[in-house]
Amino acid sequence: MMFSFVIVAGGKGSRMGGEKKQFMNLCGRELWRWSAETAAKTPGVREIVLVIPEGENLNPSWPHDIPLIITHGGSERAVSVLNGLNAASCSYVLVHDAARPFATQKLFLALMDTVTENAGAVPVLPVADALKRIDGENITCVNRDGLYITQTPQVFHRLRLIDAVRDNPLAKDEAEAWTNAGGILRKVDGERMNFKITWQEDMTTARALTEQKITRTGLGYDVHRLVPGRKLILGGVNIPSPLGLLGHSDADLLTHAIMDAVLGAAGLDDIGTIFPASDERYRGADSIELLREVMRLVEADGWTVEFVDAVVIAQVPKLNAYREAIKNNLGKFFAVNIKFKSAENLDDAGRGLSMTCHAAATLGRHGE
Ligand code: MG
């Protein structure tokens, strides 16, 4: 048996706010391409017929062995389907909706194995949710026993389907036209992943399922002198101490190291370049405000800060009592862990002359 694979992509996208979903980008491929390419690799499928909206022009690259035939639809679904069926040439036809990108080759083969000249085949799934019928204010419960939802592709003898659709132009799907015309229908198990992208939220779900996630890690380091008469601010928290950190800004070295880690993961310049000490605007700057700007910069590039870990190395003062307050303050921006280490009286930090900080940030982004 030879099969044509007809993809109906003639919709106007009225439930997508007017955007034609069949041409929307899903992980670098227009929506219609997903099922077209699955079908092109399916044994027994000899041609793909793509039905595009009236007035639309499409000249897509098509690197597959079998032909891609493009034809135009009409104002009604039945017209689009008929145009597709007439542009096809095989004895049997799978009619698929472009808005179902995740139908698998396994499903196509099961349908192709089930269809006969007299019996069409459709994928079905039992209804999982409880059902209600709503008529104005009146809500009644509907027994879902024996109720199934129908998916595509639906497969039929092509010439018989042409007659059935022509005689039943108002049918909701090809199966309804087929049974109205007296045809037999068989079922195969549908696939939950073969959901139909109808609303904007469905597209969001589809993107979450397909788009690759890139994860990157950045490293940040900072050191400041510890001197009398300066405030000690770590992670935006003011810590009572006779010694504070010396610097052009508020010298919040924890927030500085974290900003460099975040910027580093995003492949951006460091804070010394973005907020130069030579710029008077940053004298005494609140580093938490600078962090807000850093977050804006990385988020503008599509990044999400997934986790930050940092270690502050200080001999004096003891900082553990402020750990929760610092975590809570930085936790407004991202998930964060903070640790403190003494310097074992060894180097400048160990002698109480300085404080150092190391930070690592993990950022994630969806993309190619
Ligand atoms: Mg600094």
Instruction: Give the Å distance between the CA of 259 and the centre of ligand 1.
Output: 10
Angle between helices 253-265 and 323-330 (to 10 degrees): 40
Cβ contact 257:310 at 8 Å:
yes
Rg (CA), the chain: 31
Predicted confidence at residue 27, as pLDDT, reads 83
261 pLDDT more than 70: yes
The residues placing their C-beta within 5 Å of ligand 1, an ion, are 222, 256
Instruction: Give the Å distance between the CA of 297 and the centre of ligand 1.
Output: 19
What distance in Å separates the CA atoms of residue 68 and residue 61, rounded to the nearest whole number?
10
Least confident of 198-207, 252-261, 334-343: 198-207
Instruction: Give the Å distance between the CA of 365 and the centre of ligand 1.
Output: 27
Instruction: Give the Å distance between the CA of 223 and the centre of ligand 1.
Output: 6
pLDDT digits (tens, 9 = 90+) for 83-130: 999 999 999 999 999 999 999 999 999 999 999 999 999 999 999 999
Say which amino acid occupies 88. A
Instruction: Give the Å distance between the CA of 251 and the centre of ligand 1.
Output: 5
Confidence of residue 20 (pLDDT cuts 50, 70, 90): confident
pLDDT digits (tens, 9 = 90+) for 213-250: 889 999 999 999 999 999 999 999 999 999 999 998 89
State the first-to-last Cα distance of the chain, in angstroms, to the nearest integer.
38
DSSP string, 326-354: HHHHHTTTS-EEEEEE--TT-STTTTTSE
Instruction: Give the Å distance between the CA of 321 and the centre of ligand 1.
Output: 23
Instruction: Give the Å distance between the CA of 17 and the centre of ligand 1.
Output: 48
Instruction: Give the Å distance between the CA of 229 and the centre of ligand 1.
Output: 18
Predicted confidence at residue 58, as pLDDT, reads 87
Instruction: Give the Å distance between the CA of 224 and the centre of ligand 1.
Output: 6
pLDDT digits (tens, 9 = 90+) for 131-181: 999 999 999 999 999 999 999 999 999 999 999 999 999 999 999 999 999
Confidence of residue 367 (pLDDT cuts 50, 70, 90): low
DSSP string, 209-237: HHS-EEEEEEEEEEEEEEEETS-EEETTE
Could you tell me what percent of the chain has a pLDDT over 70?
Answer: 98
Place of tokens 């349908």: 111
Average pLDDT across the chain, whole number: 93
What distance in Å separates the CA atoms of residue 339 and residue 243, rounded to the nearest whole number?
20
Instruction: Give the Å distance between the CA of 300 and the centre of ligand 1.
Output: 24
What distance in Å separates the CA atoms of residue 27 and residue 39, rounded to the nearest whole number?
18
317: cis peptide before it, omega within 30°? yes
Instruction: Give the Å distance between the CA of 302 and the centre of ligand 1.
Output: 26
Place of tokens 């397909």: 210
Predicted confidence at residue 82, as pLDDT, reads 97
Q: Closest Cα partner for 330 from 367, 368, 287, 298?
A: 287
13 pLDDT more than 70: no
Q: Closest Cα partner for 176 from 198, 192, 152?
A: 152
Query: 154's torsion region: left (phi>0), alpha (psi -120 to 50) or beta?
Result: beta
Query: Residue 172: enclosing H or E segment and its boundaries?
Result: none
Mean pLDDT for the stretch of residues 285-313: 94
Least confident of 1-15, 187-201, 260-274: 1-15
The pairing of beta strand 92-97 with beta strand 148-150: unpaired
Q: Is residue 150 classed as helix, strand or coil in its secondary structure?
A: strand
Instruction: Give the Å distance between the CA of 299 and the centre of ligand 1.
Output: 22
Instruction: Give the Å distance between the CA of 355 and the centre of ligand 1.
Output: 10
43 pLDDT more than 80: yes
Instruction: Give the Å distance between the CA of 212 and the centre of ligand 1.
Output: 35
Instruction: Give the Å distance between the CA of 201 and the centre of ligand 1.
Output: 43
Could you tell me what percent of the chain has a pLDDT over 90?
Answer: 78
324 pLDDT more than 80: yes
| H helix runs in the chain, sequence order | 31-40, 77-87, 105-114, 158-167, 174-180, 200-210, 253-265, 271-274, 287-300, 323-330
Mean pLDDT for the stretch of residues 5-12: 87
Structure tokens at 55: 């007035």
153: cis peptide before it, omega within 30°? yes
356 pLDDT more than 60: yes
Instruction: Give the Å distance between the CA of 222 and the centre of ligand 1.
Output: 5
CA atoms within 13 A on the CB side of 93: 27
Instruction: Give the Å distance between the CA of 303 and the centre of ligand 1.
Output: 23
Predicted confidence at residue 330, as pLDDT, reads 97
Instruction: Give the Å distance between the CA of 301 and the centre of ligand 1.
Output: 24
Structure tokens at 275: 């907020």
What is the pTM assigned to this prediction? Answer: 0.62
Instruction: Give the Å distance between the CA of 247 and the centre of ligand 1.
Output: 7
Predicted confidence at residue 212, as pLDDT, reads 73
Mean pLDDT for the stretch of residues 10-38: 81
287 pLDDT more than 90: yes
